[in-house]
Amino acid sequence: MENSAVTVAVRVRPLNSREKIENGQQVIFMDNHTTTIHHPDSKQSYSFTYDFSFCSFDKTDPNFASQQVVYEKLARPLLERAFEGFNTCLFAYGQTGSGKSYTMMGYGEEAGMTPRFCEELFSRVTNSQNKDVTCHLEMSYFEVYNEKIHDLLVVKDEQGQKRLPLRVREHPLFGPYVEDLSTNVVSSYADIQGWLELGNKQRATAATGMNDKSSRSHSVFTLVMTQTKTEFVEEEEHDHTITSRINLVDLAGSERCSSAQTSGDRLREGASINKSLLTLGKVISALSEQCQSRKKVFTPYRESVLTWLLKESLGGNSKTAMIATLSPAASNVEETLSTLRYARQARMIINVAKVNEDTNAKLIRELKAEVEKLRAAQMSSQGIEPEKMRLFQQEIAALKAQLTQQEREMAEAHRTWKEKLEQAEKRKREETKELQKAGITFKVDNRLPNLVNLNEDPQLSEMLLYMIKEGQTKVGKRKSESAHDIQLSGALIADEHCVISNVGGTVSITPIKDAKTFVNGNLVSKSTVLHHGDRVILGGDHYFRFNHPVEVHSGKRVSCWTQSGDGHKDFEYAKNELLAAQRAQLEAEIEKARVKAKEEMMQGIQVAKEMAQKELMDQKMLYENKIKALERELEEESERKRLQELNNQRVASKMEELQTAKTLLEQEVNLNKKRLHMEAQATRQAMADHDIRHAKILEALEAEKRKIAEDLEKMQQKMAQKEMHAPKNGSS
């Protein structure tokens, strides 16, 4: 048993053509083990140290890390550990288009780590000097998409039905495994190549028409290596085995995960989240925390299919390496930074790996120890007790018996290996036949014209080749009873889609009814001749390039592709072409619709104008009539007015007359008034005079009266006085 930290490497790829067009600025720099990233906005630099920093940015750089360099530094040590009997795992992590598949699988001449690993493995096995070791290998290849496991090496099940997704099970001793996953015995590198080709063709077929599928799926390639060693105990031959499980994993593009992580809406979307990748992040962070704090931390392996399956590789019995792939461009800086941080975290994980030996090895060791003990006893003292001797020998005999039993079982197993190999061969032939039925060719007849598939994912482009034989090649929907030469799946593929005819080297395509068929971006409705390099799109999402070797050889047609063999670029070209053609068509349709609408509008306007005019006329007439009536009314009114005027005049003159009469009257009245007034005044004056006179008379009378009164008084006084003076008797 030994502790081993996860080996972490990062690799930066060259700028791609899009980044070059955008004048992509390089932001990743590597120096020995250190990777530095310059943030173009904040102008800050961040440095990270890893076990390896592979710079594959510029081929002319003396430190350029080629596919071979990456393989030698990262994968070869794992191969060595595998031969020692350890489980090993190598996985590639990084954003879409950063170079995971390029690093793991490779493209064309630039084979990646997986094929290099397998090739070296077999060359070591065959060249091995040690004839006492035999090596058996079994491989499986599956992908995890949307939390479902699909065997890439089996097309149909025993009943001839399309295989359902597989399930993960957990073995109490060996841990999680995929139930019913096909394992195929391989005895040479060519065998592996064959299966890989088959698996990748399956991926390509499944991914066609499914937007984005490939960069959202994880592909897991597994090799189980069983080495049987012969050892001698007491001159007797004994076998024991060591097993190692090798997982080579090409993960889904990482940004789908982080963007899903940040947005709550997308989290709820379910299908669009890569649960496995999300959980992988959680597992790595839990494991690194556990290794740092040395405390047990819950690790959510079971939350996703991928992490459950890679449980041992990530946090258990395995020698594990991770390669994080990076884009050098400034436009991806945020993604790159997050990948670098992820990788830094993974570097803290420490696994406990052990050699996987069978029980035989233990038995042999025990046997050897017993024999040694016996020998030592014999050597040291001759006087050893016979009883003890007997016990030793008994022990040895028992162990030998156990070993023989085990070996019998092993021999049985060995026999099954051979059977398994034969079975695998048979299965491969069947699977190949099955794929050929779907029109997929393995062996290329390089004189025949053909259609090659194009896919967004470079790894899946140019994987499928459909031959166009002399005569008619029929294309239609894939069905079990279908007899079409080329069978395609997808909702937009018609049961009978089109016919490709090859007559004397002239190839033409004819759509059946209105099945959507595009040639160089244009929708075709009748027979159209195909030339080398033409793009053919069937049903809107099956992209192909047409190859015509005879045309190329005769020089009739020069390939329109400057760089042949880059199906990925072809795909983009074909897609853009289709989009451009569709846009042009759409624009033409819009223009037509616009013109038509304008015409209709003009017509409408004309009708409306006429109607308006008629209405106007009617209204005019109505108004004129009304005006006439009004005029008449007016005339009558004015006549009436005139008469009234006359009347008025008459009244006025009468009034004037009256007024004059009134004035005269008034004058007269006034005059009379004045006279009256004067008369009144005169009367008043006369009255006043009279009054004065009267008063004077009165005064005189008054004065007379007073004088009389005074006289009277004076007389009375005189009388009185006389009386007083007269005698009192008598005559008073």
Is 459 a binding residue for ligand ATP by CB under 6 A? The answer is yes
Catalytic (active site) residue 102: yes
Residue 325 touches which of Mg ion, ligand ATP, none (Cβ within 5-8 Å per kind):
ligand ATP
Note if 573 is an active site residue: no
For residue 337, give both structure tokens: 């930074």
Q: Which of 281, 458, 511, 539 binds ligand ATP (CB under 6 A)?
A: 458
DSSP letter string, 207-275: HTTSTTHHHH-EEEEEEEEEEEEEEEETTEEEEEEEEEEEEEEEPPPTHHHHHHHH-HHHHHH-TTS-H
Q: Choose one: 99-107, 294-302, 412-420, 432-440; the region binding Mg ion (CB under 5 A).
A: 99-107
Of positions 88, 101, 241, 299, contacts Mg ion by CB under 5 A: 101
β partners of residue 47: 36
Q: Does 94 bind ligand ATP (CB under 6 A)?
A: yes
Q: Is residue 535 classed as helix, strand or coil in its secondary structure?
A: strand
98 is in an annotated binding site: yes
115 touching ligand ATP, by CB under 6 A: no
The yes-or-no answer on residue 281 being catalytic is: no
- The answer on whether 96 is annotated among ligand-binding residues is yes
Query: Measuring CA to CA, which residue among 216, 226, 307, 296 is closest to residue 256?
Result: 216
Residue 200 interacts with Mg ion (CB under 5 A): yes or no = no
Q: Which residues pair with 325 in a beta bridge?
A: 11, 94
Phi and psi of 476, rounded to 5°? -165, -175
Q: Which does 97 bind (CB under 5 to 8 A by kind): ligand ATP, Mg ion, none?
A: ligand ATP
Nearest Cα residue to 78 out of 322, 408, 341:
322
Q: Judge whether 97 counts as a catalytic residue.
A: yes
**Residue 16 in the binding site for ligand ATP (CB under 6 A):** yes
Nearer to ligand ATP, 346 or 367 (CB): 346
- Residue 567's binding partner out of Mg ion, ligand ATP, none, with CB under 5 to 8 Å set by partner kind: none
* Residue 24 interacts with ligand ATP (CB under 6 A): yes or no: no
Six token digits for residue 730:
């008598």
Judged by DSSP in three states, 499 sits in strand
Q: Encoding tokens for residue 445? A: 């007849």
Is there binding between residue 328 and ligand ATP (CB under 6 A)? no
For residue 315, the minimal CB distance to ligand ATP (Å) is: 24
**Would the annotation count 45 as a binding residue?**
no
The count of other CB atoms within 10 Å of the CB of residue 121 is: 20
Stretch near ligand ATP under the rule CB under 6 A, chosen from 194-202, 402-410, 451-459, 698-706: 451-459
Residue 73 annotated among the catalytic residues of the structure: no
In whole angstroms, what is the distance from residue 494 CA to residue 2 CA? 59
Using CB under 6 A as the binding rule, whether residue 151 contacts ligand ATP is answered as no
Smallest distance, ligand ATP to C-beta of residue 94, A: 5
Sequence-separated (6 or more) residues with CB below 8 Å from residue 366: 399
Q: Is 99 annotated as a binding residue?
A: yes
Establish whether 250 is a catalytic residue.
yes
Of the candidates 471, 488, 470, the one whose C-alpha atom is nearest the C-alpha of residue 479 is 488
Q: Minimal CA–CA distance to 539: which of 484, 491, 480?
A: 491
Which is closer to Mg ion, CB of 51 or CB of 212?
212
Q: Which of 35, 88, 202, 215 binds ligand ATP (CB under 6 A)?
A: 215
Contact pattern from residue 564 through residue 583 relative to ligand ATP, giving x for each residue in contact according to CB under 6 A and a dash for the rest: ----x---------------
CB 160 within 8 Å of CB 480: yes
CB of 52 or CB of 518, closer to ligand ATP = 52
Catalytic member of 100, 229, 311, 319: 100
Question: Which contacts qualify for 111-115: CB closer than 8 Å, 24 or more apart?
Answer: 111/67, 112/67, 112/71, 113/67, 113/70, 113/71, 113/74, 113/75, 113/248, 114/196, 114/221, 114/248, 115/192, 115/193, 115/196
- Residue 14 binding: pick among ligand ATP, Mg ion, none (C-beta 5-8 Å cut-off by kind): ligand ATP
Question: Smallest distance from the beta carbon of 323 to ligand ATP, in angstroms?
Answer: 11
